Amino acid sequence: MEIDDNMMQVDDGIDEISPMTLGHYYQNLFPHALYYKWLNYNGKLATTEFTHREFSFTIKDGIYLRYQSFKDSEEFQRELSRLSPSKIDIGAIFTAPPKHAKSLQPGVFKPVSKELVFDIDMTDYDEIRTCCQGGDICAKCWRFMTVAMHVVDRALREDFGFTKIMWAYSGRRGVHCWVCDERARKLDDAGRKAVAGYLSLIRGGAEQGKKVNLTQRSAQHPHIVRSLEIVEEYFEDVLLVDQEILLTRDRWTKVLNALPDEELRKTMDAQWSKRPDRSSVDKWSELIDAVDKRAAKKGSKFGLNTFERDIMLQMTYPRLDENVTTHVNHLLKSPFCIHPKTGRVCTPIAADQFDSFDPFAVPTLAQLLREVNEAPSQSGSVAKSTSMAPYIGVFEDFVSTVLPTPVNSQPSLDF
């Protein structure tokens, strides 16, 4: 592919996200061919998987265009370049092309399928994380996303048998998961709600002390046992060292509120108040020793013997936005669009890169345009000559898993 001549005229120092800069991105860097292969699920010829798919675009001045649909990859590419949306959302596949929705009789236009999706946002950890709040993230709190991806990915693969899974960075403060197996795409709202419920463990608002309540039987479920193993691996480094959840009284109070023993809560609070400057690692060790001794005296019926397990899960287990998952027609931000707040590309994350993925290394629109300007003129993929290349590679590997297996590559049944 040749670089658009206008691309070379973009100011090297430009940082603005505008229709012009977005237009250059969609014309020269957006992975149209791979994107089409993914959402078409059937090679080159357009299927209803693509033609009946809803896209929504947010364009200049915040105008929101819903029920966009396209007959093929070429039309989609033309409209992206023409409209230069600041955001792309992907919706369901309907009984008819969504662009005809208003002309159809009531009840005819219905959603029939969509990828099973999950949204994990850092703001749902605001009551726990101490380094950042709101839309801000740092390397310390990003590790909550690392744990979340490990837990959810393994559950989807090992408990549900899904294999065609893509994770994506939201471009700012969270991650999205796209499960693309056919049986996942065919799930109705009830089925999606069941999966979301299976994966949800934290119950209760910010004012509730104890938010994990497991029965003796549910605690032995393979998903809980496996999740606890993952959580235990990260808990000390993430919660005690990075977040220092027991460093100050307002922080340790949140942990002590989950203790099912008021007398012990008061004892620990008084003990730590005398020496508040001790590390969270030391305080945690003291707390668990005190809980174990108390549990030995009072017995298991008081819930002390499960406190360590439950509080580790409460502080570290993934916090899903269930509403995103439970409805077939719920929209979710597309991979490879540009986040309007950060300018970063919403990039795929490989399953073997959960621990190494760095959201701050993800390229911005301004960075990519500068790289293209500085690169020598060339044919072929422009994106692969920029810092987008490794993310395109991850996407390419994923897309290869969702395409149908060619007939001539299937194993022979001849004897």
Q: By the 8 A CB rule, do 49 and 39 touch?
A: yes
Distance CA 347, CA 353 (A): 12
Q: In tens digits, what is the pLDDT along the chain, a chain of 415 residues?
A: 333 433 323 333 345 799 999 999 999 999 999 999 999 998 778 999 999 999 999 998 889 999 999 999 999 999 999 999 999 999 999 999 999 999 998 889 999 999 999 999 999 999 999 999 999 999 999 999 999 999 999 999 999 999 999 999 999 999 999 999 999 999 999 999 999 999 999 987 767 788 998 988 999 999 999 999 999 999 999 999 999 999 999 999 999 999 989 999 999 999 999 999 999 999 999 999 999 999 888 765 557 889 999 999 999 999 999 999 999 999 999 999 999 999 999 999 999 999 999 999 999 999 999 999 887 766 567 888 899 999 999 999 999 999 887 645 443 333 2
Q: Is the dihedral of CA 315, 154, 351, 86 positive or negative?
A: negative
Q: Which of 89, 121, 153, 242 is catalytic?
A: 121
Annotated catalytic residue 54: yes
The total of other beta-carbon atoms located within 10 Å of residue 363's CB is 21
Residue 229 falls in the annotated catalytic set: no
Sheet holding 165-169, edge to edge: 116-121, 174-179, 165-169, 348-349
Which tokens sit at 40?
A: 């078409």
The type of residue at 385 is: S
* Model pTM score: 0.91
Q: CA-CA distance, 362 to 340, in Å (whole number)? A: 14
Position 14 scores a pLDDT of 41
From 179, 142, 189, select the one nearest 322 (Cα to Cα): 189
Which residues have CB under 8 Å from 258's CB, separation 6+?
209, 210, 211, 307, 310, 311, 314
pLDDT for position 297:
84
CA 68 – CA 97 distance, rounded (Å):
8
Q: Please pick, among 54, 242, 244, 371, the residue that the annotation labels catalytic.
A: 54
Q: Residue 29: phi, psi to the nearest 5?
A: -125, -25
Compute the C-alpha angle 78/84/85, nearest 5°. 120
Given the residues 119, 181, 261, 310, the one annotated as active site: 119
pLDDT at site 385 = 87
Backbone angles phi, psi at 257, to 5 degrees: -65, -20
Structure tokens at 99: 């662009």
Decide if 181 is catalytic: no
Provide the pLDDT for residue 380. Answer: 60
Of 196, 258, 209, 201, the closest CA to residue 225 belongs to 201
Helix, strand or coil, per DSSP, at residue 90:
strand
- CB burial of residue 254 (10 Å; 0-12, 13-18, 19+): middle
Angle between helices 73-83 and 19-28 (to 10 degrees): 160
d(C-alpha 37, C-alpha 43), whole Å: 6
